[in-house]
Amino acid sequence: MTGLYLGLSLLLLATIVLGLVRILRGPTAADRMLAAQLFGTTTVAILLLLGQATSNQALWDVALVFALLTAIAAIAFVRRDLEPEQNKKEDGDVSA
Amino acid sequence: MILADFLLAQPWFVWLILLPLGGAASTFVLPRRVAPIGFCCALLILAGAVFSVCQLAATGSLTQAAGHWSAPLGIVLRADGLAVVMLATTAGVGFIISCYALGYFPARGHEPSRARYFWPLWLFVWAGCNALYVSADLFNLYVTLEIVTLAAVALTALEGGAPAVGAALRYLLTSLVGSLTYLAGVALLYAGWGTVDLSLLSQVLTEDPLSRTAMALMICGLLLKSALFPLHFWLPPAHGKAPAPVSAILSALVVKTAYVVLLRLWFEVFASFDRAMTAHLLGALGSAAIIWGSLMALRQERLKLLIAYSTVAQIGYLFLVFPLAGAETAATVWTAVILFMVAHACGKAAMFLVAGTIQQTAGHDRISQMAGAGGPIGVLAVVFALASVTIIGLPPSGGFFAKWLLLNAALATGQWWYCPVILTGSLLAAAYVTRVLSWAFLDVRRNVCPVSSRVMKWPPLALCLVALLLGLAAYGPVRVALTGAPVTGHVLVEQRP
Amino acid sequence: MTLLFGHLIDLLLAVSLTVLAWRLLATSDLFKATVLFIAFGLLMALAWVRLDAPDLALAEAVIGAGITGVLLLTALRHLDSGARVARMSGRSGRRSLRVLLPALGIMPALLVLLCLSSPHIRSTAGLTASVIERLDQIGTDHPVTAVLLDFRAYDTLLETAVLLLAVVAVWSLHPVRPIFSPEPISPAQRGLLRLLLPVLIMTSLYLFWRGSHAPGGAFQAGALLAAGLLLLLLSEQRLPGRWSGMFLRLLLAGGFMIFLLVAAGALVGTGTLLDYPGGGASWLLLSIEAALSLSIAALLATAVIGGRPSDRSTEFPPRRKDPAGEEG
Amino acid sequence: MNDLSVYAAAGILLFFIGLYALFFRRQLLSKILAANVMGSGVFLIFIGLVKQPGQSTDPVPQAMVLTGIIVTLCFTAAAIALAIRLKELNEEHHSATRPEDDFG
Amino acid sequence: MFLRDATTCLLLLAAASFFLAGLVGLLRFPDVFCRLHALTKADNLGLGLVCIALIIQADSWHGAVRLLLTWFLVLVSGATVAHLIARKALQQGQTPWRNR
């Protein structure tokens, strides 16, 4: 069973890594925020599975805390004010 | 009698940490009483420092394991000679700066918030410095360094203008890099040897690539924090733009905190390592700092920037210690560097305080337009000139004595090439100081507005007198400094052929 | 099989952390960087879990995903319009630093090799055994809590000082501005708040209570409470004017002051710093922890708001009056 | 060499990525994020090197890293407050002197 | 015993497929309103299946309650956040995608 839990965690982790593409690509801020939100859910699932695999109950507490806090970043996102998307100019990469 | 016994039995070096912390918290809670609370705190700390010196002279070395948990599990506090000298210096200089700040940040002025936040932040700096001097635990040293940095950054930004805030931000980010690099070294040491206690580490540490990497990381981080050339780029703006008492705090006390940690690492933790190359590198950088800092000071248009660059130069002298500490000269350079830190703290604080008074009287600190700014005051000119004596290193100042010892050590170890560097540094220092004195104090046109409050005139005088007379009364400080020092041997006052 | 999956998870986590850090620092779109940083926090929490450090995972979950997220998203409003002003004023030195580039490339590789090959790494036992051995002398049986509140309590005292100092530093900079948009709040958000908040407070109490014998404790509980305060703040709840003065300052400094008083009391009584009477009576530890939790919650939330309450007792933080208007 | 060393290796890389970005990025928020990434790197090195497979992690470095996380958070909050203040001051300055020249 | 493990296996595999579906939705759907479905439907269902699978394995009632509470919180947060993000996107002038 432990193998199955870990395997599924690995799979979920892989979906997070692939989902990063959405944050990188965007195109809108809402898309990025949404992807981050999705990662929160997936992370909760991974934590639950890892907790079961290692029979470490403390990880379920971590999952509970994540579940409580997944909303907070998104709420901060919608509550901040922002100029409309169109005005947000892409500054040239200034690292050069 | 019972009270006196009770007072003498107290571990004062621990109280010196708790007192300013308590003061900082109370000044934050009671913003309308900041000045009285802060000043009482400064007085108490001064008294505590005096007690600590007495206790050290009586007992040798003071240690305490916090919570009775000894190393490696717990944190050990240890007040040796270096720590106590620094505690006393910080207490003295800090007390004078506190007096000055009473006049500089008037509590009932039109901008009360600056006074309101100066005191808690300053007391936090003070607590952080004191905690740092007595800490014998690498991770605890990291936390104290962070307290000092964060409070010093906020103090720098207290001036309020965009240049000051920008300088503060750069200071913060640079220091953060420095402390994280230091922490990476601590992590490697803990992973390898399972302890972060200084004296335990010095016993178990073996020289191998891992410990050498840790040493390199920690030294790099601390160099960044103590602004050795070429990592000094953050210092002049921060020290030059801050309010005058803050500049004094930064230049006289804060810069030396990272250096004290470096001394502890070099002479205690990594003492058994073969570090000739590193020592020569540090010596070369120190020499470059002396020359470069002095030349830059010579070119500055603003008085406070000039003094800030002078600090860059003076930091260079501190790093000459590493190549000069040979087997028989270790005690000499140890004494020299401690005397130098004390003298520089007093002299530089006095200079910045005078610069602050001039800036308030004249309304600016442009050197070329400062003609007569010191004129009607007299005492300002005297203070600045006396403070310069120790910065240049003329007898009988503490600066002179320290440089003399350094020269002796250079000759004794056969590294004569450091002698011209030290002498050139002194000449350049004389040049930039004379430039200020000639503009500001000799060309007297008595047309500037009269001086501000009395507390901004007289306290700096005490500081520069201490710096000046340190060379004459060096025996006491030297004896205290050598108590429990990790070096052995004689102090070479005279160079034998 | 199990071992292989474990290895793969570790590898994937380590690689994606590195790539994520690289991408988030390479982009010039600050919003994107912020969201990537929140994702970075999630992965860090997973890494702590894999490293068997659930206390750190809890802290990272609350701080990385919750508090830092709000802090950065709130700050973005003031920082992301135009790179010019948000640029460091200095220009000197950066060009010359380019010569260090090769060094920056080689050093990590060297360091990795070194750490993996050093015979000292993991050959020392560390301090686990000596912590466990002494657990029955003190009033807690969770090793991390024991280290934080007893063996290295002095570090924790100074750390609390740093927290208070951060708020003093933030307050010294400027008076508070209105921080959120004035547009009306969705009723759904209010509903969510009504649902989440009680659970959040219960969870925080639960973490606090667990701290004495399992991962959790004052810091995590306080940080979770701070997240709750931020949720309230995001729903236009404010501290009334009469409480934003002395009361708020006492709340902020209270935990630190009580801790300091205990330290000073021990110094007077036993002559040793933080030497708890009776070898660390559990009620004493518990009351320090409780005060610390409350203070930490207030300190973290205040640091995120960023700015001191005004002297004329008004609400903290203030409302924005005019929806389209100026800030400040 | 064992399975958990990858975290230490990742920590070292994060440290240097952060260091690099801190020196060469110009936007303030990027610098602040870079410092945070550096911090995470150091903490990963700390625990990654100490953790021995099959045993519970040493609580002492865990407590130290917890302290480090909180200290870094404090620095982040202060740095962001400073950055916002700096931008405000620059805007005031520019709107006072050259209102037309507000585009970088 | 075998039945319990088999059920858990099946549920977990089902959960995996839902998470994968969510990922595909996140990556392939044309605009933010469509992608919100990935968040609210697929992933929350996947998490629910994981929770049920673990509840079957749980040996104490409070573990089960904690799992259910976690799922419930994620469900509620997900729904609310999806609504808030959609509202924000509409306010910012994005128009939902239509298949013409």
How far is CA B201 from each of CA B195, B211, C134, D68, rounded to the nearest angstrom? Answer: 7, 11, 22, 21
Q: Which chain C residues are within 8 Å of A72, Cβ to Cβ?
A: 65-66, 69-70, 227, 230-231, 234
In-domain check, residue A93: no
How far is CA C114 from each of CA C10, C16, C107, C108, D19, rounded to the nearest angstrom? Answer: 20, 23, 10, 10, 19
In-domain check, residue A47: yes
| Residue that wins the pLDDT comparison between A85 and C159 | C159
Tell me the DSSP string of E46-97: HHHHHHHHHHHH--SHHHHHHHHHHHHHHHHHHHHHHHHHHHHHHHTT----
In chain E, whose CA is at the least distance from the CA of A71?
Answer: E77
Buried b (16+ CB within 10 A) or exposed e, C42-79: bbbbbbbbbbbbbbbbbbbbbbbbbbbbbbbbbbbbbb
| Residue that wins the pLDDT comparison between B179 and C136 | B179
Return d(Cα C318, Cα C314) in angstroms, integer: 7
In-domain check, residue A7: yes
The DSSP secondary-structure symbol of D100 reads T
Contact partners, residue B495, CB within 8 Å, separation at least 6: B407, B408, B411, B412
Mean pLDDT (chain C, rounded): 83
The region of weakest confidence among B4-13, B347-356, D41-50, E39-48 is B4-13
Interchain pair C195, E84: CB under 8 A: no
How far is CA B265 from each of CA A50, B196, B219, C303, rounded to the nearest angstrom? Answer: 42, 12, 8, 34
Mean pLDDT (chain D, rounded): 84
By the 8 A CB rule, do C111 and D53 touch? no
For the stretch B274-290, pLDDT in tens is 888 999 999 999 999 99
Interchain pair E84, C189: CB under 8 A: yes
Task: Fill in the amino acid letter for B299.
Answer: R
For the stretch C236-250, pLDDT in tens is 788 887 888 889 999
Of A21, A63, A75, the CB nearest to E70: A63
Q: Which pLDDT band, with edges at 50, 70 and 90, does B448 fall under? A: low
| B328 SS3 class | coil
What is the tally of structural domains in chain A? 1
Q: How many Cβ atoms are within 10 Å of A25's Cβ, its own excluded?
A: 12
By the 8 A CB rule, do B55 and B62 touch? yes
Looking at the complex, does the CB of residue C158 fall below 8 Å from at least one CB of chain B?
yes
Has residue C92 got a pLDDT over 70? no
Interchain pair B233, C93: CB under 8 A: yes
Looking at the complex, does the CB of residue E10 fall below 8 Å from at least one CB of chain C?
no
pLDDT for the residue B236:
93
Of A61, A73, A78, the CB nearest to C69: A73
Contact partners, residue A19, CB within 8 Å, separation at least 6: A35, A38, A39, A42, E23, E26, E27
Domain of A10 in residue numbering reads as 2-80
Interchain pair A94, D24: CB under 8 A: no
Q: What is the pTM of this model?
A: 0.93
Contact partners, residue B78, CB within 8 Å, separation at least 6: B61, B62, B63, B64, B134, B135, B136
- State how far residue E100 is from chain A, nearest Cα, in angstroms: 22
Has residue C130 got a pLDDT over 80? yes
For the stretch C134-173, pLDDT in tens is 887 777 788 998 899 889 999 999 999 999 999 999 999 8
Element (H, E) at D36: helix D28-50
| Residue that wins the pLDDT comparison between C312 and A81 | C312
Interchain pair D42, B180: CB under 8 A: yes
- Which structure tokens are listed for B20? 């300013």
The DSSP secondary-structure symbol of B497 reads -
Return d(Cα B467, Cα C306) in angstroms, integer: 42
> D residues 20-59 near C, CB within 8 Å?
20-21, 23-31, 33-34, 36-37, 40-41, 43-45, 47-52, 55-59
> A residues 66-95 near D, CB within 8 Å?
94-95
Per-residue pLDDT averaged across B82-100, rounded? 95
Task: Fill in the amino acid letter for B241.
Answer: K
In-domain check, residue A90: no
How far is CA C266 from each of CA B299, C260, C262, C289, rounded to the nearest angstrom? Answer: 54, 10, 6, 17
Residue listed under structure tokens 């997936």: A42
Has residue D62 got a pLDDT over 90? yes
- Which structure tokens are listed for C133? 């051995």
- State how far residue C140 is from chain B, nearest Cα, in angstroms: 15
In-domain check, residue A50: yes
Q: What is the 3-state secondary structure (H, E, C) of A69-95?
A: HHHHHHHHHHHCCCCCHHHCCCCCCCC
A and C: number of Cβ contacts within 8 A: 177
For the stretch B360-377, pLDDT in tens is 877 777 877 766 555 555
- Which structure tokens are listed for B115? 């006074």
In-domain check, residue A89: no
Has residue C188 got a pLDDT over 90? no
Q: What is the dihedral of CA B13, B18, B21, B23, to 10 degrees?
A: -100
Return d(Cα C56, Cα D50) in angstroms, integer: 14
For the stretch B109-151, pLDDT in tens is 667 778 889 999 999 999 999 999 999 999 999 999 999 999 9
- State how far residue D84 is from chain C, nearest Cα, in angstroms: 6
Phi-psi label, residue B393: left if phi above 0, alpha if psi -120 to 50, beta otherwise: left
In-domain check, residue A72: yes
The region of weakest confidence among B38-42, B165-169, B205-209, C88-92 is C88-92
Highest mean pLDDT among B133-142, B159-168, B386-395, C87-96: B133-142
Interchain pair D42, B187: CB under 8 A: yes
* ipTM (interface predicted TM): 0.93
In-domain check, residue A94: no
Q: Which chain B residues are within 8 Å of C246, Cβ to Cβ?
A: 29
- State how far residue E65 is from chain C, nearest Cα, in angstroms: 13
Q: How many Cβ atoms are within 10 Å of C185's Cβ, its own excluded?
A: 17
Has residue A91 got a pLDDT over 70? no
